[in-house]
Chains A and B, each alone.
Chain A
């Protein structure tokens, strides 16, 4: 399913936004844990060396240091790989950032299986789950590079603890030209009345491809980019459920406790329509090329099309 989408790096968009922000605001401080050339925070470090602190390979320490900076009025960005920026320092995020509701923005890269060759040790597929269940925490999974850029400017308009998830691989720029991004507000990328496809991150582009295929089959699929997983835009979900009567979710994350689970909970309480979750089926990943891995683990437009047929059949 080839499209004319540009392939772009979310990390580059992040660092571009960070440097621009750094120019605008002196309260922006950035911490990294020996991965600044990977996460691209090195660009900020080069531009504002006095406001960048490399904490070494010590993520727990980095999160608490960030909390101290935030408690003193700084807007603190903390970056590393998703697997290290959640699992290696969960207690610090819980106790010192989420509980006291401090202004720390945890912006991580290399989430999910598209990490590729590094294998399961580095392919975190449960980070959204970990962050979503923390009170006070906002969780955003931008669909692409332009949305990542807009996200960074949006999250510094408030002082809430926030988790932003990016991948390693370049992703199709599907939101280019879309001006607005609002935290907690889903974007309807494509209208349709037969079935709704809700995605986050790289899977939004797969949903769009799936919708094209379904259109050829005479099925109108609505595509929703749910970049904010928390707070969840329940209104848009319920409206789509009532209007289309069937729903598919798609995420590069464990099907447990990510977007799919969040949507299932909303449907369970508000709209009884058939749902199928596309995601990693509660197993660890492995080494491989990112596209090959997406195929192997079912994170494809084809699989979303199949899921759409399944819920459509259950709808009747």
Chain B
């Protein structure tokens, strides 16, 4: 399909690299935050905001916009970097992350930040919120879509499965969920903390369309998103196999960077890697 213009793919990959640099700089400046799970979701978010979603940074309240809910709210640095790159607020503001009086709260707040659709941070809520938005869209005969990004650790939360039931029950085919399957949660490997597998079977059993892709391949994300848009009568989940800390060698697969910001040397090293990896 002509959706995959090589030049556009290059531009998206380049954008993803810039987003990663922002994430490193922001969390370093803040002295805290969650770089690992932000880095794993970069291609997903980049593709959504710069290829898939209908939205208007100049008019965040545009009634027909597609909605995005960051259910894994701790990946706020990634979302903020995306929103700033898209033009929702100035890039300089990224360095105010987590600072007193800032609009960029440690976890997303819809009342603080332009472009943030829902306040999140306590895990397991976002899918249900997305379902509510999807029901509203249906009531209003609107064609916009609802996208939600969940973490894999978040699959521990019972409410996720309540929401999975509701979305299938009400046939919410306007909901697309991305699952950032980076295999790590705060205390360690997901399968060691609380086994999730067979995850694909679980979602299928709950009545969802399930796709599994490489969550760092923009091409695969685009194709899977298009498949989800064409899925009728059921919600769609795209299980994105990712690497926590992706793009920075010493952060990749490192549990300790789940909720720890890079210190000076780490920041410098990370930015150096992200500079040359083009």
Residues of A participating in the B interface, judged by any CB pair closer than 8 Å: 29, 50-51, 53, 55-56, 58, 60-74, 76, 91-92, 94-96, 99-101
Question: Which residue on chain A has the smallest CB distance to residue B127?
Answer: A64
B166 CB contact (under 8 Å) in A61, A63, A71, A72: A61
A74 touches B109 (CB 8 A): no
Question: Which residue on chain B has the smallest CB distance to residue A100?
Answer: B119
Q: A56-B166, A64-B128 are in contact. Are A96 and B119 (CB under 8 A)?
A: yes
Chain B residues with Cβ under 8 A from A58's Cβ?
159, 162, 165-166
CA gap between A100 and B117 in the complex, in Å:
10
CA gap between A62 and B131 in the complex, in Å:
10
A65 touches B135 (CB 8 A): yes
B132 CB contact (under 8 Å) in A50, A69, A99: A69
Question: Which residue on chain A has the smallest CB distance to residue B134?
Answer: A68
- 12 example contacts (A-B, Cβ-Cβ < 8 A) are as follows A29-B135, A29-B136, A58-B165, A60-B158, A60-B159, A63-B128, A64-B128, A67-B118, A69-B133, A72-B136, A95-B119, A100-B111
Residues of B participating in the A interface, judged by any CB pair closer than 8 Å: 67, 69, 109-111, 117-122, 124-126, 128-137, 139-140, 158-159, 162-163, 165-166, 169-170
Chain A residues with Cβ under 8 A from B135's Cβ?
29, 53, 65, 68-69
CA gap between A101 and B118 in the complex, in Å:
11
Please give 6 more A-B residue pairs, beta carbons under 8 A apart, in addition to A91-B122, A95-B122.
Answer: A58-B166, A71-B118, A74-B139, A91-B125, A100-B111, A100-B119
CA gap between A118 and B230 in the complex, in Å:
49
CA gap between A100 and B109 in the complex, in Å:
7
Chain A residues with Cβ under 8 A from B67's Cβ?
72
Q: A61-B159, A69-B136 are in contact. Are A96 and B166 (CB under 8 A)?
A: no
Q: A67-B132, A69-B132, A69-B133 are in contact. Are A61 and B119 (CB under 8 A)?
A: no
A64 touches B139 (CB 8 A): no
CA gap between A80 and B33 in the complex, in Å:
38
CA gap between A16 and B43 in the complex, in Å:
51
Chain A residues with Cβ under 8 A from B122's Cβ?
91, 94-95
B166 touches A99 (CB 8 A): no
Question: Which residue on chain B has the smallest CB distance to residue A63?
Answer: B128
CA gap between A99 and B112 in the complex, in Å:
11
Q: A96-B118, A96-B119, A100-B111 are in contact. Are A73 and B125 (CB under 8 A)?
A: no
B162 touches A60 (CB 8 A): yes
B133 touches A72 (CB 8 A): yes
A137 CB to nearest B CB, Å: 15
Chain A residues with Cβ under 8 A from B158's Cβ?
60
A53 touches B170 (CB 8 A): yes
A67 touches B166 (CB 8 A): no
B145 CB to nearest A CB, Å: 13
Q: A53-B135, A60-B159 are in contact. Are A68 and B166 (CB under 8 A)?
A: no
B117 touches A95 (CB 8 A): no
CA gap between A100 and B69 in the complex, in Å:
14
B128 CB contact (under 8 Å) in A56, A68, A99, A101: A68
CA gap between A53 and B170 in the complex, in Å:
9
CA gap between A101 and B110 in the complex, in Å:
10
Chain B residues with Cβ under 8 A from A73's Cβ?
136, 140
Chain A residues with Cβ under 8 A from B120's Cβ?
95
A70 CB contact (under 8 Å) in B132, B165, B166: B132
Chain B residues with Cβ under 8 A from A51's Cβ?
139
Question: Which residue on chain B has the smallest CB distance to residue A94?
Answer: B122
Chain B residues with Cβ under 8 A from A55's Cβ?
162, 166
B125 touches A92 (CB 8 A): yes
CA gap between A68 and B67 in the complex, in Å:
10
B136 touches A64 (CB 8 A): no
Q: A51-B139, A58-B166 are in contact. Are A68 and B133 (CB under 8 A)?
A: yes
Chain B residues with Cβ under 8 A from A100's Cβ?
109-111, 118-119
Chain B residues with Cβ under 8 A from A68's Cβ?
69, 118, 128-136
Q: A58-B165, A71-B118 are in contact. Are A96 and B159 (CB under 8 A)?
A: no
Question: Which residue on chain B has the smallest CB distance to residue A31?
Answer: B132
B125 touches A65 (CB 8 A): no
B139 touches A61 (CB 8 A): no
Question: Which residue on chain B has the smallest CB distance to residue A58?
Answer: B162
CA gap between A63 and B122 in the complex, in Å:
14
CA gap between A273 and B69 in the complex, in Å:
51
Chain A residues with Cβ under 8 A from B125's Cβ?
64, 67, 91-92, 95-96
CA gap between A76 and B120 in the complex, in Å:
19
B152 CB to nearest A CB, Å: 19
CA gap between A68 and B139 in the complex, in Å:
13
CA gap between A88 and B129 in the complex, in Å:
17
Chain B residues with Cβ under 8 A from A53's Cβ?
135, 170
Chain B residues with Cβ under 8 A from A101's Cβ?
111
CA gap between A53 and B131 in the complex, in Å:
11
Chain A residues with Cβ under 8 A from B165's Cβ?
56, 58
Question: Which residue on chain B has the smallest CB distance to residue A64?
Answer: B128
Question: Which residue on chain B has the smallest CB distance to residue A54?
Answer: B169
Chain A residues with Cβ under 8 A from B131's Cβ?
64-65, 68
A72 touches B137 (CB 8 A): yes
B117 touches A71 (CB 8 A): yes
CA gap between A70 and B110 in the complex, in Å:
13
A71 touches B133 (CB 8 A): yes
7 A-B pairs with the lowest CB-CB distances in the bound complex, closest first: A68-B132, A64-B128, A72-B136, A61-B162, A58-B162, A68-B129, A65-B132
